[in-house]
Structure 1
């Protein structure tokens, strides 16, 4: 696995916290890499750069993935500097955690922009260069909610369903055109990153530690897997939905596993104090 990452340039969005940050820390510790870290919180990125600069060459940019012009500007800069990523890891994401009718229009727009469209824009900004080079890996963080609806997650689930559909279609396109560019879709259940503070783990679907999913990502990307799914039961959700009548599936998910009540006590990540 270590040899796979050596001498690769890796772009990570949402790199100031959660999965993005931990992925940067772990890959820098095991391989000789160049890291391009993007996040809308440049102060946090500077701290991470200072933390990792003894392990890796680190480039940071305060990029909001909802800003198409900023994405293209930064992409053009790195392309000019011959730093086209070998691996793009799209980790930027948000969750509102309300019933759909309680969402504001701006919350709906922002969720889809960050969780779905932002990942598309980041991949698109570098894709021509990756195709011309004949190698690359695009890694998109989806969610088990892209398989199954859930109260208080309607917009989040919609955005992650879109990520799964886009990732699958993009993978097929790249294979059909024989570009050498692969696509990996990461499909986890709830993760203890702070973004889902307060959720109640469904029965047989334990909350994942950040290190657990990052380790699976490091292994799966190195093996160029199409999908990385965790915990184990997530792998069976599409099959269960296909086999069971919808009322029975809802009973199993809602009453037996408790999935539909998992967001009832949701709090989410606390905003940082500006003091």
Structure 2
């Protein structure tokens, strides 16, 4: 197994970020630019917001180039087309941040099959798989230290009412992401290190109206991004924030299901955390 090598920064490296026009995606991009990345590639479906973000980041003058590609991550064909353009324009990236995601909240039987179920699985899970599949061979071939940061969720570790489809997408993301990490190590491609980030609720507006479970404050985007960025640079396999996410997963693993249900529902208030969800308007 290749010795773990921590990166000090992304200075001189190429960084690709999905969902980069706003929110946490933009914060990742700001960090890449501030650290002097050679190229920061912004991917987002919102062309206007993407252009504005690129203009503002370019004005900082600390990255050699800021590139934008409008991309609908629900389309495998668009992902393949944009990935080919990225390879042609900058080659294989050194860092890939699969950040983009959407959330739909309802009882499962109330979800629209296409707008809710299909779209959530495509954007939250399949998009990261398809984009990584397109870019990963080039990252492996570079031989130098490369990083993939996959943004999952605490919802990928614990079941929760009114989150069945979102939880499904994040359970799949977590399982795929960590398995990919192990496959790279097993195949001798330890230069590419995968970090899975599983945060609880973050105040981006995406989860407007939620209530944090007991001892689980809603995190600021800045704090969440700072923690994930550090873990990614160090090649840390898994980061769960705050500490109660890992604690809850461990507790659920050792308790009988009905006992855990009582604790999660009546004590920790996990099962009622989405009751007043409104989301981003």
Pick the TM interval, shorter chain: over 0.9
Partner residue of 2:134? 125
TM-aligned CA deviation for residue 78 of structure 1: 1.8
Determine if the alignment matches structure 1 residue 151 to structure 2 residue 156.
no
Match of 1:273 in 2: none
Cα 1:95/1:13, change in 2 over 3 Å? same
Q: Distance in 2 between matches of 1:120 and 1:131?
A: 16
Q: Which residue of 2 aligns with 1:218?
A: 229
Structure 2 stretches of 5 or more lacking a match? 1-5
2:269 aligned with 1:258: yes
Alignment of 1:148-187 (within 5 A): 148-179=158-189, 180-187=191-198
Q: Deviations over 1:8-63 (max 9, x none)?
A: 11100011122111111123223334110000001101111111102321000100
Contact kept? 2:9, 2:35, Cα under 8 Å: no
In structure 1, what is the Cα distance between the partners aligned to 2:50 and 2:104? 24
Q: Report the alpha carbon displacement of residue 5 of structure 1 after superposing the two structures with TM.
A: 1.0
Partner residue of 2:143? Answer: 134
Alpha carbons 2:54, 2:66 under 8 Å: kept: yes
TM-score using structure 2 length: 0.93
1:73 to 81, 104, 127: 81
Specify the alignment match of 1:91 in structure 2: 99
Q: Which of residues 71, 78, 99 in structure 2 aligns to 1:63?
A: 71
Aligned ranges for residues 225-244 of structure 1 at < 5 Å? 225-244=236-255
Using the size of structure 1 for normalisation, the TM-score is: 0.95
Deviation digits for residues 154-213 of structure 1, max 9, x if unmatched?
000000000010011111110011112111100000000110000011110110100011
Q: CA deviation at 1:110?
A: 0.4
Residue 2 of structure 1: how far off its partner (Å)? 7.8
Query: Counterpart in 2 of 1:195?
Result: 206
